[in-house]
Every structure is written in structure tokens, then in C-alpha cells.
Amino acid sequence: MSSSNMVSNLSPLSLLQAPAAASHVDTLAPVVLALAVILAAAKLGGDVAERIGQPAVLGELVIGVLIGNLPLVGVNSFQFITSNATIGVLAQLGAVILLFEVGLESTVRDMMHVGFRSLAVAVLGVVTPWALGWWVGSLLLPNSSVYVHAFLGAALTATSVGITARVLKDLGRAQSPEARIILGAAVIDDVLGLVVLAVIAAVIAAADSGAAVSYGSLALVFGKALLFLFVALSLGVVFSPRLFRFASRLRGSGVLLATALVFCFVLAWLASAIGLAPIVGAYAAGLILEDVHYRDLSAKEDWRLEDLIRPIADFLVPVFFVLMGMQVDLSAFSRPEIIGLAVVLTIAAIVGKQACALGALGAKLDWLSIGIGMIPRGEVGLIFANIGLGLVVRGEHIIDSATYSAVVIMVMLTTLITPPALKWSLSRREAGSGKRVTGTG
């Protein structure tokens, strides 16, 4: 027992705290305090955002940025939140629940209708920013190696679907064809982005060690990743009704919610086991589940699944957004050369994703909203930057701390710009051709 050594040398007085400390105070206490701070901040930030006509999620992000940067003015009271590992996992769990909830609002059949279009949007949305980022990198950092340029481009490829999903949900547009194209494309993006990163990283690792890159094994992993969604969606549609038919025979309360969560968590785990982000599996799980699968269970317990998932989402999703805001370091803004690179990268990131709109051409779709919806890089961009920090070619770090800060600022700006921009583009279209758009939802 790890607590035994801790306790043995404490004074009598501190022992009154120790019984709890041994099991839950030094783990649970900071977690409940952090959750209280995050939930309070999220609701206050959301309130201010809605008062100025913006989606609540923007308020959650901005208040996160403010709290996270309080150390700049000497206030370190909230640093325990970002350093708490459990809060980090709860934030990721919030992203999983959010994508599951968003997925629940569509069906696999809906996705099929936008599938090829999503693929076109995703491929354009990966290739264009990558090329653009590579080119911009070679212009601004002429002394860096080609690997740095290629990596900067790769860091611009991923789409963080969380922000867009939340904005679409806040605006009641999560079921529009545009939303499905964006979310479908973001899921494919996640796969493509990881492959791009893997290819770049493989080339860099080969350059560093002199070893040959095994394109065969890369192709294998690439295939595995693409197969996952296909297999998960095909098998899931067959398996899900059986699972819920079995569950409907179980006694006890809360079976509907538990079964749905088990399904979501298993797919999230399978996705991560195959090398994808768990949110991909959660989104797939949401897509697969249809009302008709759990109709019996829902009738028996007299609850709709959406109403059972929503409180869990209301609890965990703000943790994800506030924490993402808190991880933004505003002090990087004080270095002009970083600002320059960051601004150019941000423009490349925004312009690059507008190529996605080309994938929506020809259909009567809101192509501007699709392009804007693909802008945010969010946590996926940060993950890319993180990986870059660890890559070395013959002693040269692929991403040094200045470039890293620029990438972080790019991630932040693309993330902050999306909610108001998307709200504007969606309402612009709604004002222009109101009834038709609402009718397609």
C-alpha cells in the first residue's frame, strides 16, 4: 500500500487528515475543486459569450485562456488544474462524450449520403494546408531544413472537430448536411493527418538514423486505419440491435445508459488500439446507434437516450473546452518573430482549409460554412506540435520552442476564430434562404 510509508512519520495532528489523505484527499480533493472552478468558469464565460451573441463554447475557451494565464499577473492559484492528470483524462472523456452525442444525432445512412463528398472535402483539406504550410515555412524559415518545412505543413492538416461540433450543436445545426460533411471530413482528416504525420516522422527518423523507411508497413497501418471505420460501421450496424435486445432483458435501473456508454467506450478503445484518436470511435458509435435499436429499452425505462447522455455531456464537455483554453500560453505573444510566423501560419491554416469548399461545389450546400467549419486545429494541432518537439535530425530539433509557440498560437487563433465565423456564415445563409436550409435538417 503506497500510503503506509507516507503516513508513518506524520505528527498526531496531521494524522487527522491522514486517513482521508491515504485514499482520497490528495487525489479526490483537487479534482472536485478543479471541477467546481471549471464548471463555474464555463457557465460564467458562456453567459458573457451568449450576451454578446456568440456561442457559449467561445466563452468557455476564452475564460479558460484567462484563468490559464493568470500566472502572468502573479496569480498561481489555478495551476493545480492543468497539472492534474485526472482532470486531463476527464477533459478527454468530455471530448469522447461530445463526439458520441454528436454522432447520435446522425445515422450511418445519413453519413453515406455525404460520404464521398466528405472524403473529397477531407483530402482537399489535408493536401492544401500541407502544401501551403510547407511553402510558407520555406519562405519564412529559409535556413531550416526541408524537414522543418514539411513538418510545419503537416501541423496544419488536422481538423479538431470538437469546436465545430459544439458550435453546430449550440446553433441547433448538428443535423444539417453541412454538419455531416464537416464531421465526416474531420473524421477522415484525423486518419489522413495521422498518416501524413507518420510519413513525415518516418522520413525524418530515416534521415536521422540512415535507415530505410518501410513504406510497406506504413501502407499496412494506413489501410488498417481506413478499414476501422468501414468495419466498425458495418459490423456495428449488425451488432448494435442485438446488444440492445440482450440489454433490454436485464433487470435493474440505468441499463439503457450503461449499454450505450459501454458501446461508446468499447469503440473509442478500439479506435485508439488501432492508432486513431478515441473520439473517432466515439463518433462512429454515435453514428451506429439508432433509436430503433434501443426502442424497447427506452420504452421500458421511460427515458430517451439523448436525455440521459446530455447531463453527462453538460458535466464533462466544459472540462474539455476550459482546459484547452487554459493550455494556451499568452506570453508567447510578447515575441515579435513568433507573432510573425504565427500570423502567417494562421493565414495559411485558414486559407488552406477553404480548399475544402471545392469538395462541396456542385451541390446546393453552404460551401463557406464547410470551409470555416474545417478551420480549427484544437488539440490535434497541439499534439502535432508536441510530436515535432521530440523529432531530431542530426542534432537539429525539427520544431524548436519558438516554432512550437507559433504553432500553438496558430492553433489558438484558428480555434477562437471558428465559433464567431461559423455563426456568422450559418446565419448569413439562414437569413438569405431561411426555409430551405431549415427544411434539410
Q: Which stretch binds its own copies (CB under 8 A): 247-255, 331-339, 412-420, 424-432?
A: 247-255
Contacts of 206 (CB under 8 A, 6+ apart): 212, 213
Q: How far is the CB of 125 from its own copies (least distance, A)?
A: 17
> What character string, x for contact with its own copies (CB under 8 A) and - otherwise, covers 359-388?
--------------------xx-xxx-xx-
Q: Which stretch binds its own copies (CB under 8 A): 234-242, 246-254, 370-378, 421-429?
A: 246-254
Q: How far is the CB of 12 from its own copies (least distance, A)?
A: 3
Quote the CA–CA distance of 146 and 137 in Å, as a whole number: 9
Give the β-pairing of 392-393 and 396-397.
Answer: antiparallel
Question: Under the criterion CB under 8 A, does residue 227 sit at the interface with its own copies?
Answer: no
> What character string, x for contact with its own copies (CB under 8 A) and - otherwise, covers 386-425?
xx-xxxx---------------------------------
Site residues for its own copies, 56-75, by CB under 8 A, read: 56, 59
Of 43 and 335, which has the nearer Cβ to its own copies?
Answer: 43
Site residues for its own copies, 249-268, by CB under 8 A, read: 250-255, 257-259, 261-262, 265-266, 268
The DSSP symbol for 149 reads H
- Phi, psi for 119 (deg, rounded to 5): -65, -45
Quote the CA–CA distance of 184 and 199 in Å, as a whole number: 23
Q: Which of 61, 192, 197, 349 binds its own copies (CB under 8 A)?
A: 197
Output the CA angle 177-181-183, nearest 5 degrees. Answer: 115
Question: Under the criterion CB under 8 A, does residue 28 sit at the interface with its own copies?
Answer: yes
Q: How far is the CB of 46 from its own copies (least distance, A)?
A: 4
Q: Which of 140, 275, 358, 402 binds its own copies (CB under 8 A)?
A: 275
Q: Which of 50, 290, 296, 329 binds its own copies (CB under 8 A)?
A: 50
Q: How far is the CB of 13 from its own copies (least distance, A)?
A: 5
Question: Under the criterion CB under 8 A, does residue 242 sit at the interface with its own copies?
Answer: no
Quote the CA–CA distance of 109 and 274 in Å, as a whole number: 24
Question: Under the criterion CB under 8 A, does residue 86 sit at the interface with its own copies?
Answer: yes
Question: Under the criterion CB under 8 A, does residue 284 sit at the interface with its own copies?
Answer: no
Output the CA angle 272-224-281, nearest 5 degrees. Answer: 35
Task: Classify 376 in phi/psi space as left (phi over 0), alpha (psi -120 to 50) or beta.
Answer: beta
Of 206 and 344, which has the nearer Cβ to its own copies?
Answer: 206
All three cell numbers of 235, joined, read 459490423
Site residues for its own copies, 142-171, by CB under 8 A, read: none
Q: Which of 70, 206, 237, 402 binds its own copies (CB under 8 A)?
A: 206
Question: Under the criterion CB under 8 A, does residue 272 sit at the interface with its own copies?
Answer: yes
Quote the CA–CA distance of 42 and 58 in Å, as a whole number: 10
Question: Under the criterion CB under 8 A, does residue 229 sit at the interface with its own copies?
Answer: no
Q: How far is the CB of 169 from its own copies (least distance, A)?
A: 10
Contacts of 271 (CB under 8 A, 6+ apart): 228, 232, 277, 278, 279, 280, 281, 282, 284
Site residues for its own copies, 299-318, by CB under 8 A, read: 307-312, 314-315, 318
DSSP characters over 2-68:
THHHHHHT--HHHHTTHHHHHHTHHHHHHHHHHHHHHHHHHHHHHHHHHHTT--HHHHHHHHHHHHH
